Chain A
C-alpha cells in the first residue's frame, strides 16, 4: 500500500523518532510511505484551547495536504498519535462547520475517514498483529485517553505489543487514568496537572518496568518529564519505536533517560500509601539495547543523527 504519513506537529518539533519509526516499520512491512511536505498540524491545540477561528487555517492546511488520499493517490493516511487522529476525526469538521466553512467540513470528514492511528492501521487495515519486532525490555503500556475513549483503539496496541519478541509486558495499575497532560491544561491548570502526573508516575514506577510505552508523544512527554524529574530511571518510548525495533536495528532510548543520579524524592501527590520509591531502585537501569558498538535507533543511522 501507499501510505501517507501524518507526522503530527509535536512529533516533528520534538520527537521525530516516532514518525521515523513509523516509516521504518511500514517499509519493513513492505509498504511505501509518502510524506506530504505541506502538512503542519491538525489544529487540536487551537480547538482545545477555544480558539476556533484561529484553528480554521490550520485545519484547512491539514485537509488540503492530505486530500490526495481521496483521489486514490494514497491508500490511507497514518498518524502515530491517538489524540491528533482523534482531532482529525472528531474536531476538524465540527469546528469548520461552526465557523461557517461547510465545504471544508465536508472535505475534512472525507479525509478523516481515510485517516488511521498506527495501531488501527496495522490491525484493521493491514490485518497484522505480529510485525516481527524484537524488544528485549520490560514494558508497561499507558493507553492514552484519546486513543482509548475518543478513537477507541481498544486492545489493538496491546495485541501488537504482545506479539513482540523478547518483550516483558507488565500491567499498569489504574492504566485508564488520565496522565494529566491535556495540552494547554498542563499550563492553565499546572498544579492539578502535576498532581495527576505524579499519581500516574507512581503507578508506572510500581510496575518495575524499564520502559513506559504509549501511542502518543504528547502524553509521553508529560509522563517522561515527570519520570525524569523524579529520577526514576524509567524510559519512555512510542509504540511505533517498539514495533520498529528489530534485532538488526534495536531501539535505544532517545527521550529523557531519567538519570537516577539526579533523583529527588517522589513527591506525595496524595497522602496515603507511600510512593513505592524502593521499586524504582529495584527496576535497575535500563539496559542499553543491543551491543554498545552499534548505537542504533529506529532512526536512519544512529541516535546521533536525530534526537541527540
Chain B
C-alpha cells in the first residue's frame, strides 16, 4: 500500500475527459496554444522523437532494397483498397471456416455494443487488453466501464495513459508526453499495488508494472485486442508488439475478441513478408519486433477456444470513397510520420484532439469524422482545422513506409474544408482575401499595379523593417519582422535593365562593373 498525502500530483492530459475519442478538443491552433506552453511535455517529446528517429534511420539505411519494399507495401495497399469488399468477404469465410466468428460494425457504438455483449455472454467482468488503436478510436474502455466491465490495458505505455486518465499522444508510444518521474507518480498514486519505495528508475518502473499485470494475465478469461494485419487468403490475424504482454493476452484467456479496422486486411500470406520488414523498422527502429503473434481461427487445446473478429468501419468507407483521401487507409500505424514531423514535435499529440495525432491524424481524423462531406452537420467541426496543421514540409511523406503522400492529401482536404464552408455560404475573411488575390494574381498587369502599391508599405516601415502590423498581420509581426517592401519593383528594374542594353552576349562586361563605375 502506498502512503499518499495531499492532492494528486498526476494531472490528466488533456484535462477534460473526451466524449468522442476522434475529436475531443478545440481546433488545432487553440489546442496548440495550450500544449506549446507545456515545457516539460515538449522536452519529453523532443528527446523521445529524436531517439526513435535516429534509430529508424539507422535501421532503414541497412536495407539496400528499402525503396523497393516501400513500393511493394504501397502497391499491396493500393490493390487491397481497390478490392476491399471481396477481400473482407474472403477474410470472413476463412475466419469462420477455422472456427472464428466474424461481426461487422458500422460505427464505434456498434462495435462497442458487440464487444460488451460478447464479454457479458462469458459471464466475466474483467478483461485484459492488448494495445489497440481501433478500440481507442471507439472509446471501448469507457463503454465497457459503463457496462460494469473493467478493461485493463497491458501495454506499459497504454497502462500509464489509462491509470493517469489521459489520452494517448502518440500512436506507438501513447505516454510519450510523460517522463519517468511523472510515471512513478502515476504508479504510486493510481496502480494500487505499486511498491512503497518505487523509484523512477526504468527497471523499477517496469518491474512494478510487470507484477501488477502478471496477476491480471493469470486470472483473465477474456482478452480484447486490435490487429496489425489480417490475411484474407488464410483468415490469419496478427499482432506485432515489443513487450510480450500482448502475447500473454492473446494466448492465455479462453475468449479472444479482436477489433480491427477494415483497412487492415491484406490479400495473401506472402504479403506479410513486406510488412514484417516495413513495420518494425519504421516504428521502433528495430530489425524485427520482439513478438509477432499470428493466429488462425481457433485450435483445439491450444490458446483461446473462442475467437471473435469485429470488423470496424467507423468512417472508413467514407474515406475510401475519396479518391485522394483514401490513401490515409494505407496507414500501418507505424508512427514514423509523427516522429519526423516538426509540428508534432513542437505541439505534441494532444493538440490534434484525437487518438490519431501527427501527420496521419491530420488526414485520417477529419475523414473518419466526415469533415467536408455533404451532410456533415457542423461546419465548425474542430477536425476541419487539422489539415491546416502542417507546414507541408514533406518529412512525413519521405518517412512513410507505405508512401502515403500526406502533403497532397492535406492540401486536398484543405480544399474539401474550404468547399464545405463555401457550400454553406459562410464567407470568411480568408474567402474574401483569396478571391481578391486570385483576381490580382491572374494578370501580369494587375499584379504589377499591386506590387507597386505594396511598395507603399514602406510608409509603415522603420529602418527598413516592419515590426508591428494590425491583425491579421500581427500574426506575423508578433514574433518576426517584415522587411520593408522594395522602393523599386522588379518590373521597373527590368525595364531599366533592358533599356541599358541588357542580354549581353557571352564575354561582354558584366553589368556589375558598370554599377561600380557609377558609384
Contacts and interface: CB of A to CB of B under 8 A. Distances in A.
B386 to A, nearest CB: 11
A259 B441 CA distance: 34
11 contacts: A13-B454, A16-B486, A16-B489, A27-B510, A34-B503, A49-B414, A50-B416, A50-B419, A194-B480, A294-B516, A296-B519
Interface string B413-433: 111111100000000001000
A170 B244 CA distance: 47
Contact of B388 (A41, A185, A221): A185
Contact of B438 (A57, A98, A246): A57
B200 interface: no
A91 B411 contact: yes
B395 to A, nearest CB: 7
A187 B347 CA distance: 16
B512 to A, nearest CB: 2
A30 B505 CA distance: 5
Interface stretch (A112-120, A144-152, A154-162): A144-152
Most A-side CB within 10 Å, residue of B343, B387, B439, B506: B343
B32 A40 contact: no
Nearest to A269: B346
B43 interface: yes
A54 B435 contact: yes
Interface of A: 7, 9, 11-17, 19-20, 23-24, 27-41, 43, 45-52, 54-55, 57-58, 60-61, 65, 90-91, 94, 98, 145-146, 148-150, 176-178, 180-199, 221-222, 224-226, 228-229, 244, 246, 248-249, 255-257, 259, 267, 269-272, 293-302, 305-308
B487 A307 contact: yes
Contacts of B79: none
B475 A256 contact: no
Interface stretch (B226-234, B285-293, B442-450): B442-450
B464 to A, nearest CB: 7
Contacts of B394: 145-146, 148-150
Given A50-B411, A256-B464, A270-B46, A249 B510 contact: yes
Contacts of B496: 300, 305
Contacts of B510: 24, 27-28, 246, 248-249
B302 interface: no
Given A49-B414, A49-B430, A271-B43, A13 B500 contact: no
8 interchain residue pairs of minimum CB distance: A249-B512, A30-B506, A182-B391, A225-B480, A50-B414, A178-B393, A16-B490, A149-B394
A177 B504 CA distance: 40
Contacts of A9: 441, 447, 451
Contacts of A308: 464, 486-487
A46 B434 contact: yes
Given A54-B435, A187-B472, A47 B346 contact: no
Contacts of A145: 391-395
Contacts of A12: 447, 451, 489-491
Given A12-B447, A50-B417, A226-B481, 5 more contacts: A19-B490, A60-B442, A178-B393, A182-B391, A249-B515
B465 A256 contact: yes
B213 interface: no
A55 B416 CA distance: 14
Contact of A272 (B43, B411, B446, B451): B43
A223 B489 CA distance: 23
Contact of A51 (B43, B415, B490, B512): B415
A225 B488 contact: no
Interface of B: 28-29, 32-33, 36, 39-40, 42-43, 46, 342-343, 346-347, 387-395, 397-398, 407-408, 411, 413-419, 430, 434-435, 437-448, 450-451, 454, 463-465, 467, 472, 475-476, 478-483, 485-491, 493-494, 496-497, 500, 502-507, 510-516, 518-519
A37 B478 contact: no
A65 B493 contact: no
Contacts of A40: 440-444, 446-447
A249 B28 contact: no
B475 A187 contact: yes
A149 B397 contact: yes
A196 B442 contact: no
A52 B29 contact: no
Contacts of B463: 259
Contacts of B489: 12-13, 16
A196 B346 contact: yes
B391 A249 contact: no
A122 to B, nearest CB: 15
Contact of A300 (B387, B442, B497, B519): B497
A90 B261 CA distance: 32
Contacts of A197: 479-480
Most A-side CB within 10 Å, residue of B475, B479, B518: B479
Contact of B479 (A11, A38, A221, A229): A229
B163 to A, nearest CB: 26
Contacts of B444: 36-40, 61, 65
B437 A46 contact: yes
Contact of A307 (B435, B486, B507): B486
B434 A14 contact: no
A38 B445 CA distance: 7
Contacts of A178: 342, 391, 393, 395
Contacts of B32: 189, 191-192
Nearest to B42: A270
Contacts of B347: 192, 195
B391 A196 contact: yes
Contacts of B465: 228, 256
A244 to B, nearest CB: 8
A247 B388 CA distance: 45
A37 B491 contact: yes
Nearest to A225: B480
A196 B343 contact: yes
Contacts of B43: 270-272
Contact of B493 (A52, A185, A187, A305): A305
Given A248-B510, A272-B46, A177 B503 contact: no
Contacts of B467: 229
B443 A38 contact: yes
Given A189-B389, A196-B346, A221-B482, A11 B434 contact: no
A225 B503 contact: no
A270 B405 CA distance: 29
Contacts of A187: 472, 475-476
Given A50-B415, A259-B463, A294-B519, A306 B441 contact: no
